[in-house]
Amino acid sequence: MKRRDFVKKGLAGAAIAATPAAMFASQPPSARDEKAFKLKYAPHLGMFRNSAGNDPIDQLNFMADMGFRAFEDNGMKGREKSLQEKMAATMAKRGLEMGVFVAHKIYWNEPSLTSGKEDARNEFLGHIRESVEVAQRVNAKFMTVVPGHLDLRQDMGYQMVNVAEALKRACDILEPHGLVMVLEPLNFYNHPGLFLTKMSQAYELCKHVGSPSCKILCDLYHQQIQEGNLIPNIDKSWDEIGYFQIGDNPGRKEPTTGEINYKNIFKHIHQKGGSHYILGMEHGNFFPGKEGEEKLIAAYREVDSFEV
């Protein structure tokens, strides 16, 4: 399941909960609060379509009923303004914090920011300006940035400088609004040829840029494939991490379906004082239909059951 597929399909997926939404909604707020997760796991549209239907507002309400406290939408920028506003109002009413959306056009197969070309940089900055408006409309703080493909005709050092200079310019736009772009390293297997692949590289970029508006998106699925060593890399990059994303490996499905010990990782993040982080559920559902959605919710209950 590649990021480009999530963007193109508006994050269609599948999944549900351990209790029917109608029954949950009829309970008093105190009962629903007991179902809240310890961390801010953020589903996406389509993940609960078998339980909540296809309407985005119904899906948001279902997420809140099931105890989720955040939501992410890679494709938010491409949605109609009126829908963005309705979704924002629903999230505010139901206590869902808006997570990331993709801030710009990503060049998967050709150099963009790595090239250092002025037209590529200007296009990127134009997208960032547009994304400021979207972020303000939907009450988002974070937006995803992927610097794009390698420029194979330039040394990595020059490419690093080219990317850093573009990001500094973007920070000039974002900082006055208190917004943050999060840089996502992607793995070599699903996305061959991209510039940004490792946590250490993203950390270096953030230090070059030196702005509170430039942080790391630590996608644990990508990093398990790319380099593993997840908890030590989280520790080393902690001061520059702004956001997490989740997906088990192999398969990019919910936790407990692969090899990553998410219960231990989530406990570690919580113990480090990371309960404020949003953890985007950027994965598909292992099992189909309503039953699969029930199992997905049960999986998150399990990995969230660590002792604090």
Q: What is the pLDDT of residues 92-119, one digit of tens each?
A: 999 999 999 999 999 999 999 999 999 9
Q: Are 21 and 286 in contact (CB under 8 A)?
A: no
Residue 31 has pLDDT above 50, yes or no: no
Residue 30 has pLDDT above 70, yes or no: no
Confidence of residue 24 (pLDDT cuts 50, 70, 90): very low
Q: What is the pLDDT of residues 44-89, one digit of tens each?
A: 999 999 999 999 999 999 999 999 999 999 999 999 999 999 999 9
pTM surpassing 0.75?
Answer: yes
Confidence of residue 34 (pLDDT cuts 50, 70, 90): low
Rounded to whole angstroms, the Cα distance separating 203 from 201 reads 5
Q: Quick one: what percent of the chain has pLDDT higher than 90?
A: 88
Rounded to whole angstroms, the Cα distance separating 208 from 156 reads 14
Q: Are 243 and 288 in contact (CB under 8 A)?
A: no
**Who contacts 33 (Cβ-Cβ below 8 Å, separation ≥6)?**
none
The number of C-alpha atoms within 13 Å of 197 and in the hemisphere containing its C-beta is: 16
